[in-house]
Structure 1
Amino acid sequence: MVSINKLKNNKNKIKLGLYIMIIFIIVVILSFIIYYRNNILPVSINNPKDISLEIPVGSSPNKIAAILKEKGLIRNELIFKIALKKNNDEDKLKAGYFTLNTGMSLKEIIAEISKGGENKNVQIFTIPEGYELRHISEKLSDEGLVDKDEFLKLTSDKKYFEDKFSFLKELNEGQSLEGFLFPSTYEVYTNSNEKQIIEKMLLQFERIYKKDIKENMNKMDLSLNEIVTLASIIEREAKRDDERELISAVFLNRLKIDKPLESCATVQYALGERKEVLDSKDTEIQSEYNTYIHTGLPPAPIATPGKKSLVAAVNPADVDYLYFRTKEDGTGAHTFTRTYEEHLNADPNK
């Protein structure tokens, strides 16, 4: 039989071990905090020097950290990357020629690079949310950045880029890049070719996908293609950010009961034009993109969704709505209802 004293000794040893572990953890945390604070300070406060450098277009945070460390502008590459992630500044850094100073703190350096540097060889373009490939090709062609036919050829089939972007392997054979050229503002060299511009946009989609979509896909019974397709419909239907998750829920609820989505946006895509008002003939068009006559999602995205629509697609609101209609108050808001009768009787002005 184990003596009481022995049991007490064992308990005391366990307590002592826990205390030591807690103290160790506290020491480690405090040490890291001190280390972090020291490494975000300027490299040289007493004898600051101006340093010129170039951050090439397409540079990753890792590449930028290496450049800054090589130039003697930051103390530690890892701390620089942690600071970026901590403040969500990873996607804000811009290319160009900069003159920075060794007397600048890490925060000041990040803020300066986020403004963008001088570079006469760089051209900036913006792709809005909800654009289709045809719109993107026209815009880039008008701005003198691409040959429209070459751009459309390269985006017509994922095969041209799937060796470099693994997420494209999840799409259907022969599928185009519709929906996967992420809408954003980009900087490219003026002599960039179509392939380089497309890769830059795919890279931005990949970043958003890995950061905000991939983990949440586990709770969805949908493939990547289906999620982006749903997000593209949300993008085209939603006019307000506060309704994206509600619209996502409506379409997902319809999918669950095998009810046609009846999205006007999909019909517009099938028509090849964005008519303000659809008539009954339009909703009868024979197309696999017509969600009035076909159940389920269309075979592929109908436009390029932004981050908010992508996030809404994998984070639907917890509601049982099956219908929504536009309010006639000029706000772009919708009225959401559960039954067809409620939908028909919904006051468009409330």
Structure 2
Amino acid sequence: MKKKNNKLVKIFAGLLAICIIGAASGYFWINSWGAAYNEKDTTTKVVEIPTGSSPGDIGTILEKEGIIANGTKFKYFSKIKGFDSKFLAGNYSVSPSMTMEEICNIIASGKISSSTFTIPEGYNIKQIGKALEDNGYVTQKEFLDAATNETFEYDFLKDAVAGENHLEGYLYPDTYEIPSGANAKDIIKIFLDNFQLKFKKEFYAKAEKKGKTINEIMTIASIIEREARKENERKTISSVIYNRLEAGMPLQMCSTIQYLLGSQKEMLSYDDLAIESPYNTYKNQGLPPGPIGAPGIKSIEAALNPEKTNYLYFVVSPKLDGSHNFSSDYEKFEKDKEAYNKAYEEQYNK
């Protein structure tokens, strides 16, 4: 009886040893699959994982992009490791030097690859497009084509101008996280979503109370943004705009001429002031058709809350520090302008 029991124990022990050896072999076998494709190649590549991709689909994508050696092995590795139901769509930065487990963790994290992009306050849509091109996102042409031809459904755009300037002023100046691989329409939507967030509900009510459309408020704000150099002057400049509109005077804002020229000039010529355009506020009364750039929140608030003044004119101060001298009568304005011209000549034309 003892011999029989000993025999059974030996058989059981043998089977157990086989199982342990098999499991260990399987463990090392699976982990050998998960080794990095090329440990020395640390170059990162952004790969797109579409919505609904299976582990097999992802393996095929990674193999095609040269990130792993075998897509089928990735499929089984991810399932055995419990990743198969955790993968999330998006654009991810991965490298051939990463192990399969590292790649799985990245794709399961949902932390998509992105980079930061900043729109400075006052930038117009062409400048934004050029900056996007310079930073390798999309070309300026792709961006401007999308801005002109794609449809964007937002309440604040209902009375915006049509055509190529439709989105001018509404691409909110801020620092953004742009997902790798985003196309022009995707990027524009990110900017517009942020504007929708920043343009508070109370702003709509204030605009209505002032008898202004959102487009008119944004146009005023964009002029303030381009004219103001000192924070404490925004609401004062806003008051000049409102006062001149109420008096039926042309705004005569240099910033609108600079917008037409497409580049900044230190001194405008009489020919510049004679350009035929609805944006020329020297030749036309009232506001231009739409914004001339992207105003920040301070300029938007100034457009909604102008200071109460009787000022009709302003000119750069002879201190040449970015501040302005304001006046309510033309004679004082002429004297202020003469003082500025003299200071400018002395400073720059020695």
Q: TM-score range by the shorter chain?
A: 0.5 to 0.7
Residue matched to 2:158: 169
Q: How does 1:314-325 map to 2 (within 5 A)?
A: 314-325=304-315
Are the equivalent residues in 1 in contact too, given 2:238–2:307 (CA < 8 A)? yes
Paired residues, number: 232
Separation in structure 2 between the aligned mates of residue 329 and residue 341 of structure 1, nearest angstrom: 20
Residue matched to 1:226: 216
- Which among 122, 130, 133 is matched to residue 114 of structure 2? 122
Q: Give a deviation string over 1:58-103, Cα, whole Å, max 9, x none.
A: xxxxxxxxxxxxxxxxxxxxxxxxxxxxxxxxxxxxxxxxxxxxxx
Runs of at least 5 residues in structure 1 that lack an aligned partner in the other structure: 1-116
Residue matched to 2:207: 217
Q: Give, in angstroms, the shift of residue 172 of structure 1.
A: 3.8
Residue matched to 1:257: 247
Q: Give, in angstroms, the shift of residue 271 of structure 1.
A: 2.0
Q: Give, in angstroms, the shift of residue 242 of structure 1.
A: 0.4
Paired letter, 1:123: S
Residue matched to 2:145: 153
Separation in structure 2 between the aligned mates of residue 193 and residue 212 of structure 1, nearest angstrom: 33
Residue matched to 2:176: 186
Paired letter, 2:151: Y
- Which among 254, 269, 284 is matched to residue 294 of structure 1? 284
Separation in structure 2 between the aligned mates of residue 172 and residue 345 of structure 1, nearest angstrom: 38
Separation in structure 2 between the aligned mates of residue 186 and residue 289 of structure 1, nearest angstrom: 30
Q: Give, in angstroms, the shift of residue 285 of structure 1.
A: 1.1
Q: Give a deviation string over 1:289-316, Cα, whole Å, max 9, x none.
A: 1111110000111111111111100100
Q: Give, in angstroms, the shift of residue 119 of structure 1.
A: 5.5
Q: Give, in angstroms, the shift of residue 120 of structure 1.
A: 7.2
- Which among 186, 204, 214 is matched to residue 196 of structure 1? 186
Are the equivalent residues in 2 in contact too, given 1:212–1:311 (CA < 8 A)? no
**Alignment partner of 1:135 is 2:124:** no
Separation in structure 2 between the aligned mates of residue 344 and residue 220 of structure 1, nearest angstrom: 31
**Alignment partner of 1:334 is 2:324:** yes
Are the equivalent residues in 2 in contact too, given 1:225–1:300 (CA < 8 A)? yes
Structure number with larger C-alpha Rg: 2
Paired letter, 2:137: L
- TM-score (norm: length of structure 2): 0.63
Runs of at least 5 residues in structure 2 that lack an aligned partner in the other structure: 1-108, 344-350
Query: Which consecutive aligned stretches of 4+ in structure 1 deviate over 4 angstroms post-superposition?
Result: 117-120
Separation in structure 2 between the aligned mates of residue 289 and residue 170 of structure 1, nearest angstrom: 17
